[in-house]
Structure 1
Amino acid sequence: MKKQRLVLRTLILIVLGAAVAYTLYENFKKDEIEKVVIGEKAPDFVLTDLNGKKHRLSDYKGKGVFLNFWGTWCKPCEEEMPFINRQYNKFKEKGVQVLAVNVGESDFAVKKFAETYKLDFPILNDKSGDVQSAYRIDPLPATFLIDKDGKVIKYHKGELTEKMVNDFMEQIKP
């Protein structure tokens, strides 16, 4: 009986040790692969918008991309959305694309928010949190400016004013 318990405990410890080792390995590997560096190419991703259309970041090569991470519960995000929408309508014909990435909320909540603010740009939902992790988003809102060649030229943490949004879009206009 004692021998069986010893064998069982040993097996449990081996399995737990393997699980911890695997988790650590995956986290280190992920950190090595996905780092956002100013002046380097932005990590590519594919996310689906509220209409079911897939958007791949690399498909916007040739355009400046205003990549904004936000949440419906985030008051600063709520404040800046009308500014982003107005400037998007001003700059979309000049080669600037806004991609607003919601950080994993329900489609219902995101659609309601987008309808309330009459947002015209693609609203993408990062339900898995993979894109948020790749871009190391914390806290919200967070905005990346990506030039026509797909390189990150600026990262801004926190709320944006309308003048800032305008200036940022000017910077990424091809």
Structure 2
Amino acid sequence: MKKVFLVMALAVLAVACMRLPQVPTLDEFSLPVAGEKTEWISTDYEGKPVLIVFMGSWCPYCKMSMPFIDAANENFGGQVEIVSAFLDDDPADVAKVVKEHNFKTKALYNASNIAESMEVSGLPHVVVFDKKHNAVKMWEGFSPELGQEIHDYLKKVSK
């Protein structure tokens, strides 16, 4: 009986020590908007789905995804808050790539800490948060199908 109790106690302890995967949430944070003297504040969009694309001005795949993100913003911008969050610290680097690619989606910068807290490990990294600001869908990396996948998913979430 003591052995059974000991095995059960060790099993409970092992489970308690395991790092359970957590669904990222859109916690309260603010980031500066490139080319503006304003801050984007996550809590301003409570009750509204949010799509954040983590990007880098140096990332070729991020640049390739810009037309997809602009198309999503054009089609769903009224129902879903869509922003790009650049890891760059220098707003001039972000402004330059935004201009070069005629990128119209709101570009935030200085997002390294936010990306780290959400365990972003590759770029581009797209996260969709529902109206309660729980992450419901993520894509990491670029694929030619990314634009269609985002469109199809936002069609469901924006209803």
Please indicate, yes or no, whether the TM-score normalized by the shorter chain is above 0.5.
yes
- How far apart in 1 are the matches of 2:21 and 2:131? 17
Matched, 1:108 2:87: no
Quick one: distance in 1 between partners of 2:52 and 2:22? 15
Cα offsets for 1:97-137 (capped at 9, x unmatched): 1111000242111101111222222111126x221211111
| 1:8-27 pair list within 5 angstroms | none
Q: Cα distance, 1:37 vs. partner?
A: 3.0
Aligned CA RMSD, in angstroms, stands at 2.1
**Inter-partner Cα distance in structure 2 for 1:83 and 1:53:** 25
In the alignment, structure 2 segments of 5+ residues that lack a partner are: 1-18
State the partner residue of 2:26.
42
Equivalent of residue 62 in structure 1, options 34, 43, 47 = 47
Structure 2 equivalent of residue 138 of structure 1: 121
Aligned equivalent of 1:52: 37
Which 5+ residue runs of structure 1 have no aligned equivalent?
Answer: 1-31
1:77 paired with 2:55, answer no
Contact 2:90/2:110, CA 8 A, preserved across alignment: no
Length-normalised TM-score, structure 2:
0.77
* Alpha-carbon contact 2:46-2:132 (below 8 Å) kept: yes
1:92-107 alignment, distance < 5 Å: 92-93=77-78, 95-107=79-91
CA shift at 1:62, angstroms?
A: 2.1
Normalising to structure 1: TM-score of the pair?
Answer: 0.71
Of 125, 130, 150, which aligns to 1:165? 150
Rg larger for? 1
Q: Aligned pair count?
A: 138
Distance 1:168 1:52, change over 3 A: farther
Please say if residues 71 and 105 of structure 1, whose CA atoms lie closer than 8 Å, have aligned partners that are also in contact.
no
Q: Quick one: percent identity of the two aligned structures?
A: 20
Residues 1:100 and 1:36: Cα distance change in structure 2 (over 3 Å): farther
Whichever structure has more helix as a proportion of its residues is 1
Structure-1 separation of matches of 2:155 and 2:37: 30
**Segments ≥4 residues shifted beyond 4 Å:** none
